[in-house]
Homo-oligomer: A and B are copies of this chain.
């Protein structure tokens, strides 16, 4: 994963040139938040913090990069000298990965000398936005089909290699069982899944021969793809092969459907397998699956045990981006905000407090000035201090378990796939008062 300092917008560097020239290096506070949840999202799931921390710990311009920057003619020697030794030395407060959150709630706060805090904006958004987008999308499938095996199948249509890897991670974090993407197994220790494509069937003279060859080569991982020519006919071939494979010590684990009316095929195939004594063989389905399709299949009680969820998940197709921002909240000890039309932000360092009802269901959050008294659980914690990650950050497995608990705290209306109510996020009186002070200063 490229982790370099040039993964930024040019305006960060032209601004740094201004900051350095004016010696504007006092502490700045920036926060990352989502302005408004997309249509059909009742909640979001924070993800991507681990990659942000790695990025910040390794932030550095190589000498080749400095040389290239010099060659553009845009930067003065004094600026390039500063960049050559730049490190991230600041603090990071953040919601742990897997935290459920809502509109206007900062999930990350950066406190660092202004040039450092500015430079990192583009990549921090890039990392937090994407994994949060995908974890939030994946959680919807997890909550709709809690007892099904859900596997990320989206690598091919993910937007590039990093998207494929991070989508595997984010969906696993949200409760998926694993991914088909092999590199995600190596990089993140995520369980990987996969058996055969149609091409394997097509390269053989017959479907049955393809099944036998696959089983002999992968005796512990026998799931046959049965829709290449005729789904039910192929299910019967699977039944007919079972005894011979059994004699070789090979067990048929299941079959996969990938086209047509999945519920209808699943019912017919289930009957064929059961009649043939393959009651233990599972049915796995793929092909244009998303949470809406899952809801339909669950409502119809389609006898399907697991699903490959691909394109719709990895591109978050029904909401391919979040309206997020990383905004200056304070500089040199003074709270700030912009008032651009439709884009005004709440100023100052903030904290989010969460309250629950007696059943452990989330009942409302308050966004307030950091350190102001407030009821509820604070959601932002110190995760990096002076450029070093605080010890004891959760593993991916721990974050996954935390996400599971968080999702359990969602009310049923918020879990709906559409027409979700807006969760109450209160802006505290202290924060509103601070905004007023900031505005009066700027207009004065």
Is A385 at the interface (CB under 8 A from chain B)? no
| Cα–Cα distance between A1 and B199 once the two chains are bound (Å) | 28
In angstroms, Cα B76 to Cα A155, docked, is 25
- Interface assignment of A268: CB less than 8 Å from any CB of chain B: no
Are the C-beta atoms of A2 and B183 separated by less than 8 Å?
yes
A182 adjacent to chain B (CB < 8 Å): yes
Q: Which one of A100-108, A336-344, A388-396, A413-421 is at the B interface?
A: A336-344
Residues of B within 8 A of A320 (CB): 315-317, 320
Cβ contact within 8 Å between A163 and B159:
yes
Decide if A24 is an interface residue (CB 8 Å cutoff): yes
Q: Does A292 contact B (CB under 8 A)?
A: no
One of A9-17, A297-305, A429-437 contacting the partner: A9-17
CB pair A122 B156 closer than 8 Å: yes
CB of A279 within 8 Å of the partner chain: no
Contact yes or no, A163 B162, CB < 8 A: yes
How far, in angstroms, from A249 to B326 measured CA to CA in the complex? Answer: 35
B163, B193, B202: the one contacting A328 at CB < 8 Å is: B202
User: Closest Cβ of chain B: how far from A424's Cβ, in Å?
Assistant: 27
Q: Which of B114, B121, B159, B338 touches A315 (beta carbons < 8 Å)?
A: B159
**Bound form: Cα–Cα A442–B2 in Å:** 47
Q: Which of B14, B114, B326, B342 makes the CB contact (< 8 A) with A259?
A: B342
Q: Are B17 and A218 in contact (CB under 8 A)?
A: yes
| Residues of A within 8 A of B (CB-CB), count | 106
- Near B by CB (< 8 A), chain A positions 118-170 give 118, 121-123, 125-127, 129-130, 133, 153, 155-167
Nearest Cβ distance between residue A233 and chain B, in whole angstroms? 10
| A327 close to chain B: CB less than 8 A | yes
Stretch at the interface among A221-229, A368-376, A400-408: A221-229
Question: Closest Cβ of chain B: how far from A10's Cβ, in Å?
Answer: 3
Map CB proximity to B onto A319-360 as digits: 1 under 8 Å, 0 otherwise: 011101011100110001111111100000000000000000
Q: Please report the C-alpha to C-alpha distance between residue A14 and residue B9 in the assembled complex, in whole angstroms.
A: 41
A174 to chain B, nearest CB (A): 16
Q: Are B155 and A129 in contact (CB under 8 A)?
A: no
Q: Across the interface, which residues of B come within 8 angstroms of A228, CB to CB?
A: 338-340
Q: How far is the CB of A187 from chain B (nearest CB, A)?
A: 9
| Residue numbers in B under 8 Å from A24 (CB-CB) | 203
> Is A423's beta carbon under 8 Å from chain B?
no
Q: Given A126-B155, A203-B114, A259 and B196 touching (CB < 8 A)?
A: no
The answer to whether A194 has its CB under 8 Å from any CB of chain B is yes
Which residue of B is nearest A125, CB measured? B156
Say yes or no for A111: interface residue by CB 8 A criterion: no
Find the B residue at minimum CB distance from A197.
Answer: B11
Contact yes or no, A180 B10, CB < 8 A: yes
Task: Tell me if A99 counts as interface (CB < 8 A to partner B).
Answer: no
Tell me the bound Cα distance from A118 to B139 in angstroms: 32
* Nearest CB of B to A76, in Å: 8
Name 17 interchain pairs, CB-CB below 8 A, sorted by A: A8-B155, A10-B192, A11-B196, A14-B214, A14-B221, A15-B196, A28-B199, A72-B192, A118-B199, A122-B181, A126-B157, A126-B160, A159-B163, A203-B332, A229-B339, A260-B340, A317-B320
Interface set of A (CB-CB < 8 Å, partner B): 1-2, 4, 6-15, 17-22, 24, 28, 30, 65, 68, 72, 74, 76, 114, 118, 121-123, 125-127, 129-130, 133, 153, 155-167, 180-183, 185-186, 192-203, 213-214, 216-218, 220-221, 227-229, 258-260, 311, 315-317, 320-322, 324, 326-328, 331-332, 336-343, 442-443
